[in-house]
Structure 1
């Protein structure tokens, strides 16, 4: 018998389609990076300092040009030591073209509502990974953008220390939003007659009771029904409307400040997820506007 020679395996690789090779490389670039990948030339160093504004990619280089409105809760969840799959689950894929393999930096193009109608502001966000492809730093190009994720709490302004007796503690008034506005409304046009009367009466009481005002803090709150971004926008709109009506009633505009806390400071905890009449009624205490007044009587 004539013995046939075994054909070499290596030449067969010549017939693998280039598309298959490219797909394989692309898969490597998108993985969470459970194994260490040697950094390529030009990649960030392990001990690189925080990025400067010029280290962020230019906005006109964004691949996903429409950007995204992120979940602030997802951004608050970000921490060091997370893999790429965890980051992608929270924030989605990066919005810029970051390369294929060994990528150590993801950049995002995020939008946040300002609370003034449809207006929004845009921020750039960078996530850096170490050589094990785990997050080791998260950065905003614009420092003020961090406050959009974790807004400062409204804090009383400390009174100036004088030899006179200590000023009286700040007075807080809580108005139920259900009695002020129509359902899901937050503008002056959405105020119910009884709600407008309450605010006008409160403005008159403030003018009558205080000879000097330190501040008037107006804070809007919502329940947990609806999206987080919608609730933050609605709570701020309601606070701004109440503040505007107080100013119309004679309270000096310069001492009034507003904040919208959305659903973050509930008074009532109610079980259930479906929007039923019983759940809406149970969550009623959370839908409110708080007015805190500090001054000399």
Structure 2
């Protein structure tokens, strides 16, 4: 009788255990259908950018003090990442997000800036798609996004170098017929060079170079013409330096009778021929710089 009683008790215990398991299974199935687990009752995350009201109240964060994130980690965030990859970069979410079927993680981040004594607090949201892959990352405040990805600082456009400016001085008005050195320059010639230097300094914010080139007419030997044109260019360059043009950027050249501006007939040196050839006897000053 004792043995039969024990067998009956054992059978009742097994039935009770099976019944309890059935009830628990029914409860779990009902929870997965959205009736019991808060995690599964959440609406699927919208693919649209969240509005301000979609962000949770920061006071409800389980990690009350938030965290100071790595800027590099935030910049490394990409769509398509899984939750383990997000957790590795940012850590676990700061709110009670749940475990099963969660489509959204939220964070409270603090940033130190040089704009004031206090830290800047920002809210950051990561949303996942149906494959539990990141499909969007959002800041509650646009200013917070600028802390991570500041806009590029645009340098002011450089002033373009203007086209070379070429000015011509007639050597007859500078030196007379035979003069070539600075001591030979006429007072009115010095005044012309002084005015030229003042114009250059007024019109150019920065000078790249100044080239002074002397020319003669076609009369005389080639060696004489080269020597004369070079000496006159040197005299003008010396005077430009005296009037404030940096001597280090001045270059001189003497081209003699090359590149004539006018052609005059005749081989005999007459007054008429010298007058005709006068435009060829010149000093050209070419200036390149920034306005």
TM bucket, shorter chain: 0.3 to 0.5
Which TM-score applies when normalising by structure 2? 0.45
Q: Select the structure that is richer in helix.
A: 2
Q: Please identify the structure whose Cα radius of gyration is greater.
A: 2
